[in-house]
Amino acid sequence: MTEIYYYTVLEKEKDWRLDRWFKRQYPSIQHSYLEKLFRTGQIRVEGKRIRGNYKLIPGQKIRIPPFIKDMNNGPKKNSETRVYPKELLKTIKENVLYCDDDILVLNKPSGIAVQGGSKLSYHIDMMLDELKFGLHEKPKLVHRLDKDTSGVLVLARNIQVASYLGNLFQTHTITKNYWAFIHGVPNQLKGNLSWSLTKKFVDQIKEKVTVDIEGDYADTYYEVIENIGKKFSWIILKPLTGRTHQLRVHCAAMGHPIIGDNKYGHDKFMLSEPFVKKLYLHARSISFIHPISKKEIKIQAPLPDYMVQLWNFFGLNDQLDYEI
């Protein structure tokens, strides 16, 4: 049976024309052929026929015809018919931090991707039908967390709120705080990391983000909360821009990679037993103006168990209510 593929529009793709989105994802597709797919309804957004000049809204689902899936490049595709472990869905449902008629907030576990990819068997995007919690419409993704990063993940429960939240993320008017455990102690206990970043291929296979003066501007504010001698530091990070792997690359660039980061760090920055070899980066809190009540809402995500274990070992307060 031929599978239908769907792609969830991200906040950075707000107001992109649909035809230009397809040309960017599938450079080899001819414009005349693309227009035919629009006319015949084989490409749809939220199940509706649209024209190529349609402007995208974060959280919307783009239907990608199955015969396009083998074209070069293209977005990472995920079949909505794939099966995921029931225990995983149970874990996700047990990690709801906030839910009202408009917004759903999860405490995403480390190791679970938000959206699909060629090497991923399951992800949160394919579970959205099970996260309606009484509504007819499934929630919409409006931002992402790295697969290995745990913590606050916000979803919109309707298209209007998805557009609102997408705009907040795009204009950086949402405040996000991350906790991280890093190697060493920065010379300055607080400050800004303002290195521009770009994506490059390593060994022509693996894609990594690197510091590049000609790359996209990226800015992170940080403060050291507590240090463990000269060996480790517990820091709080506030991204002021939203680049891919920004926090991980900025920490590594200042010479203090996040513990457990085997992509931008080194084996010597991995913890030994009994500590879990995972990334010690957690989206701790988020605050923004609610789209309906217009009141500020602040949500905190408790640390995952493996990070609590480390905090307890060093006598750190994992319940600390501290934001920047």
Question: What residue ranges of the chain have pLDDT lower than 70?
Answer: 1-4, 69-83, 117-120, 202-206, 267-269
Do 208 and 292 reside in the same domain of the chain? yes
Do 185 and 256 reside in the same domain of the chain? yes
Do 277 and 223 reside in the same domain of the chain? yes
Do 132 and 73 reside in the same domain of the chain? no
The catalytic position among 125, 146, 148, 261 is 146
Do 162 and 186 reside in the same domain of the chain? no
Do 166 and 179 reside in the same domain of the chain? no
Per-residue pLDDT tens digits for 147-193: 999 999 999 999 899 999 999 998 999 999 999 999 999 999 999 99
Only one residue has tokens 């293209």, namely: 74
Last residue of a domain, one of 124, 154, 170: 170
Res 36: pLDDT: 85
Do 20 and 145 reside in the same domain of the chain? no
What CATH number is given to the structural domain containing 57?
3.10.290.10
pTM above 0.75, yes or no: yes
Res 211: pLDDT: 94
Res 274: pLDDT: 80
Per-residue pLDDT tens digits for 281-304: 999 999 999 999 999 999 999 999
Is-catalytic flag, 102?
no
Do 249 and 185 reside in the same domain of the chain? yes
What CATH number is given to the structural domain containing 202?
3.30.2350.10
Res 74: pLDDT: 53
Position 324 in a domain: no
Last residue of a domain, one of 57, 79, 101: 79
Res 77: pLDDT: 46
Res 82: pLDDT: 54
Position 147 in a domain: yes
Res 78: pLDDT: 43
Do 192 and 151 reside in the same domain of the chain? no
Res 224: pLDDT: 98
Do 49 and 166 reside in the same domain of the chain? no
Last residue of a domain, one of 30, 48, 79: 79
Res 276: pLDDT: 87
Do 63 and 179 reside in the same domain of the chain? no
Residue 93 sits in which domain range?
Answer: 86-170
What is the number of structural domains in the chain? 3
Res 26: pLDDT: 80
